[in-house]
Amino acid sequence: MIIVITRPDFFEGEAAKIAQLLQSGRANLVHIRKPRASQSEVEQLLFSIPTELYSRLVLHDHHSLAIKYGLRGVHLNSRNPEPPAGWSGAVSISCHTLSELSECRRKPYAYMSLSPIFDSISKRGYYSTFTPDVIAAAHEVGLIDERVMALGGITFDKITEVKEMGFGGAMILGDAWR
């Protein structure tokens, strides 16, 4: 699975780029992550995306919009640690350590991200904390599997590599918007 995460800022042509990523097959899902945006700003972005793509969109903020528009899922974070009341769609979460990942695996998340696998492209000074041996050992014991997405420094040309490491796919931010 290939998941693209939006830039935190809005930019001209963003909705068209999201649609193009999904319609071309370059991304299976798009996570809309706009931590400083108002609900109405996120809603405006949604209005600009074809409704037939809503089943492939996940929100990091303003989760009530996921219910209102029948989106694919919500992503939990420190700003939004619980899904909205009445939510029955997919729920995902980010993990930054293997112990955190182990804890998250006990819950029914559709998928989890683990980061940073490689040095970040979009966050300066955010370096990989996992050696290849640590990743291999985590995969061997079943900690990393098809429900875990690699995040951090992922480019489209590294997707095969992360799948070979045992991840179910990759989440891409920086490389998708260059």
Identify the domain containing residue 78 by its residue range: 2-177
Per-residue pLDDT of the chain (178 residues; tens, 9 = 90+): 999 999 999 999 999 999 999 999 999 999 999 999 999 999 999 999 999 999 999 999 999 999 999 999 999 998 999 999 999 999 999 999 999 999 999 999 999 999 999 977 766 776 788 999 999 999 999 999 999 999 999 999 999 999 999 999 999 998 888 8
**Considering the entire predicted model, what is its pTM?**
0.94
Q: What is the CATH number of the domain that holds 132?
A: 3.20.20.70
* Domains of the chain: total: 1
Q: Is 73 helix (H, G, I), strand (E, B) or coil?
A: strand
Cα separation, 139 vs 120, whole angstroms: 22
